[in-house]
Structure formats: C-alpha cells, structure tokens
Structure 1
Amino acid sequence: MSKTPLTVRGAEKLRDELNRLKTEERPRVINAISEARAHGDLKENAEYHAAREQQAFIEGRIAEIEGKLSNAQVIDVTALPANGKVVFGVTVALADEEDGSEKTYQIVGEDEADIKNARISVQSPIARALIGKEEGDVVDVQTPGGHRAYEIVEVRYE
C-alpha cells in the first residue's frame, strides 16, 4: 500500500482526535456500559445498547485513525525549498483569467480537505492541474462549472 500524504497540521489533528478518543471518550463509554449493566436485564436495556453502539463507533474510529497515521507520509512544507513550484502542502493564490477574481487554496490530503477553509484535496481537479506548475504559469482546469483558466499568482510554503 502506498503512503498517503498528510500535512503536519493534519497529522496533529488526527493525533489529537486519537488521544481524545482514547483518554476521554473510551473511558466515558465504558462507564456508561457499566452503569447500564447495573440496571439489570440487558435485552430490553436501551441505555446499554446505545452505549455498546457508541463503543463500537469509537473503537472503529480509533482503528481508522491509527491506520491512517501508520500509512501517512507527513510532509512539512516549511522544510521544502521555496522555489515557486506547486507541491503538496503549499498555499496557492490564483487569479481567474476570465473575471480576474482571486482565490487562495492550500493543497492537502483527502482527510484534511475543507473547501470552507480553502483547503482542497490533492486529488481534486484543481490541485491535480496545479501540481508541478510554477508562479506565473496559467493552468486550464475542468471544473464542475465548466472549463476555467487560472494564473498562479503566488506559491507560499507556510
């Protein structure tokens, strides 16, 4: 299996969630199961079944995060040479060739993508078109809204 790229911030976020699940959520659910067991008949005990369901979800999420972290290639973009080339983790300022509007995106891993916070997946059409290009280049992107041309105004390694 190939390594999945992850930014330093994305890896920290996953580690924080994993720590919270293991130190807070898991013990809380175990206590809830113990309390529900004390109420007697488990067949018709809704609290017990809800707590077990929640436990299964938490354990599944812990396994998922551990798998992602073990398969991650954490890339510290600040350690890369700032040569104006678009690579994973950089922040790119783009100017739309048609209307001149500017957009800024950070290229991140799939799990970190959040369009509301201007973080796009490395697998997205825009990111795929940008990777390997440099400041000043014009890229053509097939977007859901149609064909767009963007000029790369700035590449920041932050």
Structure 2
Amino acid sequence: MSRGFVKEDDQEEAPFIPPRASLPAGVINYVTPEGLQQLLEERNKLELERTNLVAENDTERRRAMAVIDGKMNLLQERINSARVLHPSEQPDDEVRFGAEVRLKDLQKNILQKFKIVGIDEADVRKQKIAFVAPIARAVTGKKIGEVAEFKLGNEVRELEVLGINYE
C-alpha cells in the first residue's frame, strides 16, 4: 500500500531499546553469584514496571510496553547465558574471576584495588571491573609478587600483585 493511504498516527517509530554492555563474541558470560542475583532482581523490577505501567493513551502505553519488553528480552538472554563461577572455588593464590586484587603501579607508585566480575556487574565507582577489561586480563593468572604488563595506549605499565582475596 502506498504511504499516502496510511494515517500519520499509524506511522510510529520503533522505540529505542538501550543495549546492554557488550559481551565479546565467543566469550562465556561468567557471573558471580551476586551478579546472577542482580540480574534476577532487575528482571523482577522490569516485571513490576510492566504490571504497574500507567500511560495517558494507547500509543504511549504501546511504546512503553515495547521498551520494557525489549529490555526484558535482552536481560533474559543474558540470564540464560550466565555461567556462575563461585569465587570460593577459585585457587586462593592466583588472580582469577571473582578475585579482589590489590596492585601497585611500579612506575607511578600508585596502589589500586578492584574486584574482577561479570560484564553486567562491572561498576568502576564500586571498584568492580569486567573480566574482559584489559587490566583484568593482564593480571589474571598472576600470583602475589608477580608483575603483569598492562598496555595503556602507547604506554606499558608494570603492575605488581600485592594481594588476592576471594570473599
């Protein structure tokens, strides 16, 4: 049918569904037990939002439902692909997924601390970085006292592992 015979009200644009943090192709979606719990809580919040949705008209309601449903589909994919790794099952003397790591930048003499977590759990403000982040990959497999080389732009930094803790 020609667009000339379509009412303008029927020409809705598809709503924008914000993407989730990207998981590189072929990489397993590792999560901590807390990370899986966060995903399940997020799903519960979306279900509640969907149930309690209030809209001024049918068009607004349809758009809002489409956004919620889109978010729910992306979230459910992430939940379905999640593979829980328990930090307590990791080797105590080696940096692995779920470790809280204390590092020293040997060039700048700066101390850092962060926990290596899943993609959806990562939050720099809470000192949690994704296991696919370059710094996490650089220190994974290292033991206390070992030095990891971390490339940051044109600069190569040496990071000494000072401590490893699994909670």
Tell me the TM-score normalised to structure 2 length: 0.78
| Alignment coverage as a number of residue pairs | 142
* 1:121-158, Cα deviation, whole Å (9 max, x unpaired): 11111111111111110111002473211100001011
Partner Cα separation in structure 2 for residue 87 and residue 115 of structure 1: 18
Residues 109, 145 of structure 1: alpha-carbon distance in 2 compared, 3 angstrom cutoff? farther
Identical columns (%): 30
Q: Residue 75 of structure 1: CA displacement?
A: 1.1
1:58 to 46, 57, 68: 68
2:10 matched to which residue of 1? none
Residue 19 of structure 1 is aligned with which of 18, 33, 44? 44
Secondary structure at the counterpart of residue 157 of structure 2: strand
Q: Any idea what SS the aligned residue of 1:99 has?
A: coil
Instruction: Give the direction of change, closer, same or farther, for the CA distance of 1:155–1:115 in structure 2 (3 Å limit).
Output: same
Which residues in structure 2 correspond to 1:9-158 (within 5 Å)?
9-22=34-47, 24-29=48-53, 32-33=54-55, 36=56, 47-82=57-92, 84-144=93-153, 146-158=155-167
Structure 1 residues 76 and 135: alpha-carbon distance in aligned structure 2, compared to 1, 3 A threshold? same
Where do 5+ consecutive residues of structure 1 fail to align? 37-46
1:145 & 1:110 partners in 2: Cα distance? 26
TM-score (norm 1): 0.82
Q: Which runs of 4+ in 1 moved over 4 A?
A: none
Q: Which 5+ residue runs of structure 2 have no aligned equivalent?
A: 1-25
Whole-angstrom CA distance in 1 between matches of 2:91 and 2:141: 14
More helix, by proportion: 1
Partner Cα distance (1:2, 1:144) in 2: 24
RMSD: 1.7
- Specify the SS of the correspondent of 1:148: strand
